[in-house]
Amino acid sequence: MATAAKTETETLSWKVGGMDCASCAAKIRGAVERLPGVSKVRLSVMSETLTLALDESRTRRDAIEKRVASLGYTTAAVAAKRAAELEAASSCGCTHDHGPADKAHDHARDHEHDHSACRGHGHDHAHDHGHDHTHGKASKAADHGHGLPGHVHEPTPDGVSWYQTGKGRLVLLTGALLGAAWLAKFTVSETVAYWAFVVACVIGVVLVARRALAAARVGQPFTIEMLMTIAATGALVIGAAEEAALVVFLFAVGEVLEGVAADRARASIRALGDLVPKTALVEENGETRQVDAAALKVGQIVLVRPGDRIPADGAISDGISGIDESPVTGESVPKTKGVGEQVYAGSVNREAALRVRVEKAAQDNTIARIIRLVEEAQEARAPTERFIDRFSRIYMPAIVGFAILVALVPPLAFGGEWSVWIYRALALLLIGCPCALVISVPASIAAALSTGARQGLLLKGGVVIEAAARTGVVAFDKTGTLTAGEPRVTEIVALGHDERKVVALAAAVETGSSHPLALAILARAKADGVPVRPAANAAALAGKGVTGELDGVAIFVGAPRHAKERASFDANALEAVERLETAGKTVAAVIADGALAGLIALRDEPREDAAAAIAELKALGIRSVMLTGDNARTGAAIAGSLGLEHKAELMPDDKVAAIKELAREAPVMMVGDGINDAPALAAANIGVAMGSGTDVALETADGAVLKSRVRDIVAMIRLARATMGNIRANIVIALGLKAVFLVTSVLGYTGLWVAILADTGATVLVTANALRLLRFNAGKAG
């Protein structure tokens, strides 16, 4: 029995510091998988965790830690309980941490709520929406967003800035030495400067070389660390210490920036959790008590006051209210919901008190699923490998092998002179030195990023540029992306009164409301110069509409189906309602003293440049598709006016599924602006956020159009394609020169000094070519 127990595997987990990219994870996986007794290895860059099953009778756990540390990463063991949770969530990279409630959370929630103060105010304008006439200010205080229960949200690394990390200190030290060396070069002597460059290079390359050798020992000899080590060492050997030091410094800077980018991506995951309140008011035996939202159990009843965020997925058991579901579905207008209807965690209760029966635990609610989708998509999407690393797998072994053959074969097989052929082999190695490529390819990327930033196009690195250049399908969110995200009055149908009178009546009862549709009606009144006087006795009827009196005239504004209960609709009115709703517009009927005064049509209209952008994408051979959480009728109307395909009524996971389906045909770029778009942004080959969007969308996305212009999506693709063309030209220039001088070196026509000149010349040429991107106008076709 003892022997059997000893051979059982145990699930272990570590936090891994410095694991900032997919290639880091690949190196760690390759290293630990070769150890006996190790199985089920899973790594998550987003949560910085390594989880595996280990038979300690074959390999001790400290051997795992030593192996990972040898690659240049730090490890911290996770408690056994947490390790089991990580194992359960490892398929998506999600970790769970059921911590205590936030004791400092809004003390007002500790008191029993007065339900009589929460009478619903609302009306239903086809999309079902409501008003908040009396609770607006009070509800602000009650609307708290905290970390999502069930997830770990500690900073990574814990409160440490980039310059306090080992990589950061290395960058600062080598940078200072480089600066001192250049200063010495111009003020002291070339000799002093040379040795300063040597010191800067050696200090920087030692740590890189250690990681390269560690990777080589576990069967991964041709890593980018090995490439950098060979390039720097070769440059020192030939006396090019300045070039060697600069290459090592730039490599270190790149690693630091990679870590900063990874930390920002992790911060975006934490921000998603802020949508769900950390505490909830549970109602039991007629009394309420505050509890940790993570501890909510299926079947419990929670009280959700006006302005509160809903703490769990569930169904309404009592009450009617307008629910703002934009964080979850992207629906541009709040929906009025009543008993039996589903509500989602993170949604905002806008009007009246609700009782909600919990149907899902904290770790399974809608926002938790969105977080898992983001993490899963980020981990599942294989980033494009660094070009130099990819190229070195074939190029470096070939050059080294060829140089060895040149040095050995002629003297041994044909009696050639050793000194001559060794000299030619050294020249060949110098020609084959990849320093020019190491410097010139990042130069193209840097120039493109600078150009994009000046033109309001943010691209998060070279991998993103490459992905954008391959785009074959662009999937757009609707609300806030193709549209401005704010409904506007598009048409007024006057029936019993003229247009100005219809607007005046509607605006009178909408005065004081903060609802998007009410604000749109008030904005139209202001634009038309219509005087607005507040109605007396204004009140909202939950789920139906809003009423009031003006100069003795009883006014009702609401959806046509509710207005028909108060006034008759003739054939013309019914036809107008049908026409407007078919066009995807929200229709508000205005009733005055029991007679239909007119209809007001509202819609979130497309951005001015949306249609032009879709046409330009088509000209580039790129397919456009709209993915929206809005209803099918609105989706069809907007898509039809812009001339693109569409899929409507999509939840966040539906958008992810749609992205994956589109990706089977061609690389997909997803463009969105809301939190609900975050999973789709992460799942696409490249995700782009509108600059006016949420922080989470901006952080999750691979890029952003900072001016929120749809045509900038086209500009971004043009810039990416131009950059990749520039990089291909650089490769041809660099390798073409090398090919020529490789032949001349082997034949003895060129020596060491020409080899150095050729390598330097290639660097100058490709860098100059890269700088041409600084003048590229991405917004201009052609």
Cis check: omega of the bond before 157, within 30 degrees of 0: yes
Categorise residue 339: left if φ over 0, alpha if ψ from -120 to 50, beta otherwise. beta
Distances (CA, A) of 542 to 307, 513, 562, 566, 592: 15, 14, 11, 16, 20
Contacts of 472 (CB under 8 A, 6+ apart): 621, 622, 623, 665, 666, 667, 668
C-alpha to C-alpha distance for 444 and 452, rounded to whole angstroms: 12
Half-sphere exposure of 55 (CA within 13 A, CB side): 14
Respond yes or no: is residue 364 known to be catalytic. no
Pairing outcome for strands 686-690 and 703-705: parallel
Query: Which of 422-427's residues contact partners 24+ apart within 8 Å by CB, and which partners?
Result: 423/751, 423/752, 424/745, 424/746, 424/748, 426/752, 427/745, 427/750, 427/751, 427/752, 427/754, 427/755
DSSP per-residue letters across 82-122: HHHHHHHHTTTT-----PPP-TTS-GGGGSPP-GGGG---E
Contacts of 332 (CB under 8 A, 6+ apart): 326, 478, 479, 480, 483, 485, 487, 516, 604, 630
* Cβ-contact 364, 88 below 8 angstroms: no
Pairing outcome for strands 595-603 and 586-592: antiparallel
Residue from 20, 132, 324, 477 carrying the catalytic annotation:
477
* Cβ-contact 235, 244 below 8 angstroms: yes
**Which residues on adjacent β-strands are paired with residue 17?**
74
What would the two tokens of residue 690 be? Answer: 């509108």
Distances (CA, A) of 717 to 19, 624, 775: 30, 13, 16
Active site amino acids: 477
